[in-house]
Structure 1
Amino acid sequence: MRLPEALQFEREWRGSMDELVRKATQLSLNFPIDNDVYLPESTRTVVMSYRARGILPPADRKRFTWDHLVRLLAARYLVTQGWKREDVAERFKEHSTDYLAKHLPELATSAVQAKPRIDATELQRVEMATIAVQLLAAGIVEQFGHAKRGAVLVQDDSMSQRLTQAMLLLAALFLQEGQDNPLGSVHQLLALSRSPLTSATFGLAVFDYRDFPYAGLLLLDPDRRIPTLDCAELARQSSSELDLREQLAFDALRSASEQLVGRQDEAYADLRLWITEHPVTTTAQLRDFVRETNLQAALGFLLSCYEPVGPRHLIHGQLHLCSACGVPMRRSPSVESLVACTIVQCSRFDKPVESIAHPTGPETLIARPHVLLYWVAPGLDEVALYRKAQKFGLSPRPYPDRDACDISLDGGAVGVDVKSYANPFVLAAALTANVGGLASYPTRIIAINDQALARFHGYLDIVRQRYSGPLPLRFMSVHELMKSLESPF
């Protein structure tokens, strides 16, 4: 029996989101769509993404139906065939659920398909768009550095030259597409950079071409309004003036650990772990921690990583924390009465939930925006892997030699770097240029955040193909690595 026939027996199905994921995965693995072609399994992240893009209709009082099941499976098929999710949503507007279920194998070859691969005459436009985004990332990071020093952004000669060059290239792209340039204001451009790079947000069709490597890339964090990890890495690759380590407070951390003569490496790791596991704390907890670990000399550094609770942390005057990562939540953009996590690496990112307010007081402290974005967020996987490796007796060391890699295992035989870049092209270019301290380990593993993988189809295949560095690397998901920790390497 094929999947289209199997779906006809599920017409009365109803269930929760988790049950929808399980049912879709069960059907995908047991019934071929056509000629031994099976669909990949579904996840909650996929369901949330499809709902956000209009592929799936809203649930009926938190219950999903056959309509959701069919559209989820049909969308999974089209996406695996190269369709963009925006195209899938448009296609689904034209057909009933019955039609989608009956004609599932033919959907990918119907009239409206994924955007075709561009020909040689359009390659120049893609190259221009690629350079424009690289310059835009570098310009954003430079301008962010100016703002940290107190400079006001004015659209004149004082503005980042890379930002100016990016604006000129973007204007040329609009001209080539026969459009007026709507991004003549740098303030408007930066506001728009808090949205993904797509034609829907920027108005440039070239951003949706398959050969454009940065489609969907986010340059500015929409909540904290600072450069994202991908933006900072692109800026570094573009020879930006930004010293990223200074921005991330690495220099301050190293300076604090250097004060503890004879235990610098241990102090560095203890401080990193504690901050990642405590995005919200109190001054009393900070003082208890440094006293119990004999890190009193680092108290000033720790205090510099936090700030008091402010209005931007609160929802209706109360602080709500994510139950998975502990970071302050925001109002859900999709369900007004609920809240959602803001950390893209978190398994509960942007999922509307009810939340109990967290008590606050004058001593309550919250990690500063750059600490949340660059330490806590990517550190979620690092800490989870470290704790599991401890459980299985793998002699893990967190941040060995003060960040030679994220985790070493088996007495230094294995080095692990955890990556959460949203874009595999950015990651591959970064690793090809330099794998850092990971080079000193016999076995080198790049573990990629599961949420990042779920949001970019073919992520692992792309990064494996694009990486061209001299050292062999093993690429896997964090989930896969977590499972492998249960057996020897």
Structure 2
Amino acid sequence: MTSLTAPSDQPGRRDTPRVTPPAGDWTPWGSQREFLSQAKAILSRVHKRLTWDRMAELAEIEHRALKTYRMPENSPDHRAMPKPVRRQIESLLDQVKAGVQARGSMAFGADANVSVERSPLLGLVAPALAALVVRTAAQLHNEGMGVVVSGVTRRPGTRVGLSAEDRRTIALVSRARLTLGLPDTTAEIHNLLVLCTQPFGDWLPLPEVLDEGLGTVRLIDPEQLMPTLEAEGLAEDVAGLSSLVEEQLFGDFKESLGKLPAAHAESVYTTVRDFVVRHPVVRLHKLEAMLEDVPSAVANRIRTGFYEPLSARLDGSDGVALCAHCGNLAKSHAGGAGWLCTTAACVQNEPTVPRFFEASEEEHFRLTRGLRQYWLEPGIDEIRLFDALKAQGLAPRLYPHRDRVDIDLGARSDIGLDLKAYASPELLGRRLNKKPGGLAHYAQRWLVVPDWLANSTPGYMDRLRGALGGGPIQALTTSQALDRAVALHKNRPGETRA
């Protein structure tokens, strides 16, 4: 087997080759300092350009402590390495060995038979990473920093950079990839966030992740570059982060509504949110016409925080292309074959037919990134079901009681509907079991999943019902919910009328 050479720490001293210890035996052939050098050389096989500081993070050791362990024994700064620290490093080495064997690109020995005990910390990878994504998005929104992310360590008194908690999360993800025999490409925050736009199963297929049904989950929406609903759900138990971004986005709006009489506030909320979902891109005069019927304090919040001037078309030409179905921006398909709507829910329903207008026409405004992620994306399916119910003669209410649920079937109805489009039915079921939200106010609680999601994911509804565990929440597709509501209306019309 090829020898590894560990660099000397003394300037001017010539490096000497050292032989890697046999498989399963990390007993140092020499001093504590040599053991650490050997360990760093082995870890460097999967952690490219590994530094001592990075090794300290992986082993969860203070940087300064590791430096004292590496000092010559005759140095006054030398400290003996505690046994728990040594075991932590040996555990990392065992993980490297198991990961290398798993991917078959390098072997430690033909007869090696390794059984590595999995750390319970690996079960925290997904929620910890989701929390990092939510914290980062909240910081960017709060600071008005656009999409700038800094990988430097945050200094006391500053708000830029990575906190100690962020560093621990990144180190945990690196360790998780190491157990899979994957390279440590996630040590850099920008690389890690790019990977978060992809499903977990593509880049972090841990058993602890896949067994929880998270293989198809993305933490960052690749179009809007905002945390997904799944990220919010996973982060909800981590320091109360689940609503942090939404609170920053809608806090002023909700505050202005709170100064109105309750019934008026509910009416204004529904009017505004219905308009926003139906008008992701809007002409100035149409926006102002809607705002005429809204209290001035609320109208000012909408003008300053909900919409932004629309730039030229995404393909760089002078016009703007809108989806004929939902009204959001359309973009040309890769290779120029057709068009794609930039609203994910709309793309899943039907092909996009663009309509064009010149950028020189009356000024247009587009929903801000946060509104597109948290109101428009889920709102497409909510509005379609609401319109379908009305077309069948029912009198549903949209976002009643300021979004207690997405839809109910009338003021006298005991049926509340919440539409959710989680990639993971297991995550959705667990979250609703734990926090049913506004559904708890209704005797009949319908959790509604868009048809396109149920049809595109094998066994989605069965998996969702299994995660719900037979509780009071009923899982239905949008078509099933529509059929059941219409049937109830025919049998009990008084309960589904205004």
Q: The TM-score by the shorter chain falls in which range?
A: 0.5 to 0.7
Using the alignment, how far apart are the partners of 1:406 and 1:161 within structure 2? 38
Q: 1:185 to 1:302 in 2, by over 3 A?
A: same
Q: Which range is displaced more, 251-260 or 363-372? A: 251-260
Matched, 1:235 2:232: no
Contact map agreement 1:130 1:214 (CA 8 A) in 2: no
- Name the CA shift for 1:133/1:317 in 2 (closer, same or farther; >3 Å): farther
Query: What's 1:131 paired with?
Result: 124
How far, CA to CA, are the matches of 1:237 and 1:379 in structure 2? 25
**Cα deviations across residues 30-85 of structure 1 (Å, max 9, x unaligned)?**
xxxxxxxxxxxxxxxxxxxxxxxxxxxxxxxxxxxxxxxxxxxxxxxxxxxxxxxx
Give a deviation string over 1:417-462, Cα, whole Å, max 9, x none. Answer: 1111121122112101111121111111111122322332211111
Q: Provide the alpha-carbon RMSD of the alignment.
A: 2.8
> Displacement of 1:296 after TM fit?
4.4
Preserved CA contact (<8 Å) 1:142 1:240? no
Instruction: State the 1:141 CA deviation.
Output: 0.7
Q: Counterparts in 2 of 1:46-125, with a 5 A limit?
A: 124=118
Opposite residue 174 of structure 1, the aligned amino acid is R
Q: Helix, strand or coil for the counterpart of 2:282? A: strand
Aligned-partner residue type, residue 354 of structure 2: S
- The alpha-carbon distance between structure 1 residues 178 and 221, as it changes in their structure 2 partners (threshold 3 A), is closer
**Structure-2 change in CA distance of 1:223 and 1:209 (3 Å):** closer
Gapped regions of structure 2 (runs ≥ 5)? 1-114, 155-160, 490-498
The amino acid of 2:324's aligned partner reads S
Matched, 1:159 2:158: no
Describe the shift of the 1:131–1:198 C-alpha distance in structure 2 as closer, same or farther (beyond 3 A).
same
Count of aligned positions: 361
What's the secondary structure of 1:249's corresponding residue?
helix
Q: What residue is the counterpart of 1:218 in the other structure?
A: 218
1:305 aligns with 2:306: yes
Q: 1:342 to 1:211 in 2, by over 3 A?
A: same
In the alignment, does 2:148 pair up with 1:144? Answer: no
Distance 1:441 1:282 in 2: 39
The AA in structure 1 aligned to 2:133 is: I
TM-score (norm 2): 0.66
Change (3 A) 1:413 1:242: closer
CA distances 1:457-477 after superposition (whole Å, capped 9, x unpaired): 2111112111259x5011101
Alignment match, 2:40: none
Query: Which is worse superposed, 379-388 or 309-318?
Result: 309-318
Which residue matches 1:462?
A: 463
SS in 1 for 2:487: coil
Percent identity, please.
24
Secondary structure at the aligned position of 2:308 is classed as strand
Kept after mapping to 1: 8 A contact 2:331/2:342? yes
Q: Write the letter of the residue equivalent to 1:379.
A: G
Secondary structure in 2 matching 1:222: coil
CA distance in 2, matches of 1:274, 1:415: 22
Moved more, 309-318 or 439-448: 309-318
Q: Deviations over 1:188-214 (max 9, x none)?
A: 111221222224xx2x45379852521
**How far apart, CA to CA, are the structure 1 residues paired with 2:397 and 2:245?**
21
Distance 1:294 1:146, change over 3 A: closer
Which residue does the alignment assign to 2:171?
168
For residue 69 of structure 1, what is the aligned residue in structure 2?
none
Q: Indicate the residue corresponding to 1:7 in structure 2.
A: none
Q: Cα 1:257–1:393, aligned 2, differ >3 Å: closer, same or farther?
A: farther
Counterpart residue type for residue 377 of structure 2 = A
Moved more, 138-147 or 358-367: 358-367
Provide the rounded CA distance (Å) in 2 between the counterparts of 1:191 and 1:207: 22
1:334-364 C-alpha deviation (Å, 9 max, x unpaired): x434321222222547x77563423444520
Q: Which of these residues, 183, 188, 193, is aligned with residue 185 of structure 1? A: 188
312-321 or 471-480, larger mean C-alpha shift: 312-321
CA distance change for structure 1 residues 409 and 209 in 2, over 3 Å: closer, same or farther? Answer: closer
Higher Rg of the two aligned structures: 2
Name the SS for the 2:290 alignment partner. Answer: helix
Q: Distance in 1 between matches of 2:117 and 2:455?
A: 28
Alpha-carbon distance change, 353 to 305 in structure 1, aligned in 2, over 3 angstroms: closer
- For residues 393 and 169 of structure 1, do their structure 2 counterparts lie closer, same or farther at Cα, with a shift above 3 Å needed? same
CA distance change for structure 1 residues 365 and 391 in 2, over 3 Å: closer, same or farther? same
Q: 1:287 to 1:459 in 2, by over 3 A?
A: same
Q: CA offsets per residue over residues 191-249 of structure 1, 9 Å max, x none?
A: 221222224xx2x4537985252102111111221111111221123334353464473
Task: Indicate how the Cα distance of structure 1 residues 205 and 219 shifts in structure 2: closer, same or farther if over 3 A, else same.
Answer: closer
Partner residue in 1 for 2:421: 420
**Distance across 2 between alignment mates of 1:230 and 1:317:** 37
C-alpha separation between the residues in 1 aligned to 2:377 and 2:476?
19
TM-score (normalised: structure 1):
0.67
CA contact (8 A) 1:420 1:449 kept: yes
1:347 and 1:460 mapped to 2: Cα distance?
21
User: What code does the residue aligned with 2:368 have?
Assistant: R
